[in-house]
Amino acid sequence: MFKGKSIAVKPLEAGLVELCFDREGLAINKLDLATMQELGQAVAAAAATPGLRGVLVTSAKEAFIVGADITEFLDMFALSEAEMNRIFVRSNSAINALEDLPVPTVCAISGLALGGGLEVALGGDLRVMANTAQVGFPEVKLGLFPGFGGTVRSPRVASVQVAIDWIAGGAPSKAAAAQAAGIVDEVVAPEAVRARAIELLQEAVAGKIDWKARRAAKLAPVKIGAEQAKAFATAKEKLAKGARHQPAALAAVELMEGSVLKARDEALSLETAAFAKICHTQAASSLVQIFLNDQLLKKKAKEHARNARPVRKAAVLGAGIMGGGIAYTSAVRGTPVLMKDIQEAQLALGVSEAKKLLGKQVASGKLAQDKADKVLASIQPQLTYDGIDQVDIVVEAVVESQKVKHLVLSEVEKLARPDAVIASNTSSLRIDGLSTPLVRPENFVGMHFFNPVPLMPLVEVIRGAKSSDVAVSTVVGYATSMGKTPIVVKDGPGFLVNRILTPYMLAFIQLVEEGADFVKIDQVMEQFGWPMGPAYLNDVIGMDTGTHVFSIIADGFPQRIQRKSRDALHLMVEGKRLGQKTRLGFYKYETDPAGKPKKSVAEDTHQLLKAVQPNGTRDFSAQEITDRLMLAMIAEAAWCLEEGVVATPAELDMSLLMGLGLPQYLGGALKYADWLGLEHVVKLSDRYGKLAPYYVVPKSLREQAAKGQRYY
């Protein structure tokens, strides 16, 4: 009857017709623009069937429809609102046509139906769902809300409260919850979905189900009483705070508050107009980019996995903060690990830390006790190198001293298998400097974890000049097996993330020295979206650690990242104000009577800083503070890309998001540069470049700006 690239329409018995999503050449069904167009043709073909009595909507794949085609989004976002409107109206008309068929329709949701997939399903009169399937509206995670009628149909099919919770929350729901919410009508075993959907369709055809009344309710305004009004008010209040940088959830609630009062077609017009607006927000552009970047990282990790040697057993040298965390993460993800230290007490600490973390997982029900016991038993604490010749990879995490590391690395190289990969978790030493005493430097790679290891997703995999491809791939594979996101970077001072952080921190120090209040700087940057401002971040990193790392990195780039011999951070270290760990840094850290940690401005910090403020204090606008700090970061990111420290803007930006907690709505330093416009970045660089060389952007950025190009 109809056969397209994504949809087929075929007759069943007794006037019933099946409209089946079955995307050619793909394992899944997704709603790209072509499929939406095809849906209109498919519905028309079904409607034209002589003697038509009912339509069954199915999928020939495991999932029903996984959602819209996200790879099309950024091109779409580049269109004007009017152009987008035209596309959305066309897509909506296809679902409307399904909804308006003169016969009953039943959707058989055999597997995942997310986003647009659920919106199509809501176009039918009834929905049967497999008990293994999930449905939901994850759009807010991409800075969006449903734009194919989801905001219109979900409050009508289920309730205002369900529509708010599902759309603003973005979490997928399992079958029982979906049925309880009223989004689906019946839940059955996966193998029974189709048969039950046909039965329901026959019942509807026979008039045993009043599908006309159900449909009428979907087309009419929603009855709004006190309960619904309260649901809107509560949600708006709750969502207002996050809306500054990620407005989609609040915008959806505000949209629905108005659109539920209208009949379907008018409500859809409101949705279309609001959706076009949300597509043009910074958050939507960034979050979609992050999704695409994440896909790229996964693809790269897979390529490495093909080239990697298997890691069945690992060893960690050093059972300190990092070594303990690495051993635990390796073990919990299934790779047994030897944990070697020179101090018994440190081994005991490493084991007790692992025990504590496993205990938490058991208490929260995530891990069974016997599994936890097995994980713990797979961490083997020891003072000797016994068994080191059995491991596929050794991760060195001893103290940060080139001398000690040289000794430890050459010692372990002699005892390990010749094909074993040796990785160092150094945070500031060059990989090529560490490899000098090694006989097989090709097996040596950097593996830079972030603290705390079990929580931080990023691992910088540092390729030294002599590191072999297979050694790099093996480290990438091991990091992936630990549930981490590895990003390969070139060896150099500070590698990638700490290097980019350094000018940002120096720009902060410089602002303070010009007289800016560190408290205001923190407030401004936190409002801008950072989880913590730079002064607070220094306290968390630890003033001694930070100042040491920033100096090493600054020394590595003497032309551009100079640091004064005595700045605000040096003052802090001299005063033994090391930050959180000494309970005093820029801020002071106390415990309130209830035992909760409390941070407040230390009375004497401003006084102390006067020693580095030759011109006293003055006020700086929020704009200047963000411009200067973020420009320093963008410029360094651009230099890193130009120098090939990292291969792509995507990997660079993802590293910053994961390693530094850069606000998601920015999408990364380079994505933010795109958003500002590279010409604007050049203007800022011209303005502030006179103050310090780290504000100066590289030639490549200027050239791109001149040509009107972007990073993405």
Q: Which are the catalytic amino acids?
A: 448
Cβ nearer to ligand NAD, comparing 130 with 391: 391
Q: Is 427 in the site for ligand NAD (CB under 6 A)?
A: yes
What are the structure tokens assigned to 678, written together? 């590279």
Q: Is 426 in the site for ligand NAD (CB under 6 A)?
A: yes
Cβ nearer to ligand NAD, comparing 1 with 321: 321
Quick one: which of 252, 267, 322, 646 contacts ligand NAD (CB under 6 A)? 322
Cα–Cα distances (Å) from 387 to 164, 378, 383, 405, 560, in that order, read 57, 13, 12, 20, 47
Question: How many Å separate Cα 473 from the centre of its chain?
Answer: 23
Cα–Cα distances (Å) from 403 to 216, 424, 429, 440, in that order, read 78, 14, 11, 18
Residue 391 beta carbon to ligand NAD: minimum distance, rounded to whole angstroms: 15
Q: Is 169 in the site for ligand NAD (CB under 6 A)?
A: no
Quick one: which of 78, 171, 368, 399 contacts ligand NAD (CB under 6 A)? 399
Cβ nearer to ligand NAD, comparing 80 with 436: 436
309: part of which helix (H) or strand (E)?
none
Q: How many whole angstroms separate alpha carbon 214 and alpha carbon 196?
A: 19
Q: Is 552 in the site for ligand NAD (CB under 6 A)?
A: no
Angle CA(28)–CA(32)–CA(34) in degrees, nearest 5? Answer: 115
Query: Which amino acid belongs to residue 475?
Result: V
Give the position of tokens 């001149």.
706
Q: Is 397 in the site for ligand NAD (CB under 6 A)?
A: yes
Phi/psi of residue 474, nearest 5 degrees: -65, -40
Cβ nearer to ligand NAD, comparing 29 with 346: 346
Q: Is 313 in the site for ligand NAD (CB under 6 A)?
A: no
Q: Is 408 in the site for ligand NAD (CB under 6 A)?
A: yes
Q: Is 398 in the site for ligand NAD (CB under 6 A)?
A: yes
Angle CA(620)–CA(623)–CA(628) in degrees, nearest 5? Answer: 80
Contact 31, 116 (CB under 8 A): yes
Strands 444-449, 458-463: parallel, antiparallel or unpaired by DSSP?
A: antiparallel
Q: Is 451 in the site for ligand NAD (CB under 6 A)?
A: yes
Scanning 121-129, 394-402, 463-471, 699-707 for contacts with ligand NAD by CB under 6 A, the matching segment is: 394-402
Cβ nearer to ligand NAD, comparing 388 with 506: 388
Q: Is 436 in the site for ligand NAD (CB under 6 A)?
A: no
Quick one: which of 342, 439, 465, 706 contacts ligand NAD (CB under 6 A)? 342
Name residues whose C-beta falls within 8 Å of residue 467's C-beta, 6 or more positions apart in sequence: 431, 441, 442, 444, 445
Scanning 233-241, 312-320, 604-612, 691-699 for contacts with ligand NAD by CB under 6 A, the matching segment is: 312-320
Residue 230 beta carbon to ligand NAD: minimum distance, rounded to whole angstroms: 47
Q: Is 400 in the site for ligand NAD (CB under 6 A)?
A: yes
How many other β-carbons are positioned within 10 Å of the β-carbon of residue 336? 19
Quick one: which of 234, 343, 352, 369 contacts ligand NAD (CB under 6 A)? 343
Cβ nearer to ligand NAD, comparing 432 with 513: 432
Quick one: which of 169, 242, 320, 387 contacts ligand NAD (CB under 6 A)? 320
Going by the DSSP 8-state scheme, the letter that residue 181 receives in this structure is H
Quick one: which of 346, 380, 480, 605 contacts ligand NAD (CB under 6 A)? 346
What are the structure tokens assigned to 428, written together? 């500031």
Q: How many whole angstroms separate alpha carbon 374 and alpha carbon 367?
A: 11
Angle CA(31)–CA(33)–CA(35) in degrees, nearest 5? Answer: 55
Cβ nearer to ligand NAD, comparing 494 with 649: 494
Query: Which amino acid belongs to residue 711?
Result: Y
Q: Is 404 in the site for ligand NAD (CB under 6 A)?
A: yes
Residue 231 beta carbon to ligand NAD: minimum distance, rounded to whole angstroms: 45
- # chain residues binding ligand NAD, by CB under 6 A: 23
Euclidean distance between the first and final Cα of the chain, in Å?
43
Query: Which amino acid belongs to residue 105?
Result: T
Select from 171, 191, 189 the least CA-distant residue to 181.
171
Q: Which residue is nearest to ligand NAD (CB)?
A: 320
Quick one: which of 124, 155, 172, 318 contacts ligand NAD (CB under 6 A)? 318
Scanning 276-284, 395-403, 473-481, 554-562 for contacts with ligand NAD by CB under 6 A, the matching segment is: 395-403
| Radius of gyration for the alpha carbons in the chain, expressed in angstroms and rounded | 29
Q: Is 352 in the site for ligand NAD (CB under 6 A)?
A: no
- Using CB under 6 A, list all residues that contact ligand NAD: 317-323, 340-343, 346, 397-400, 404, 408, 425-427, 449, 451
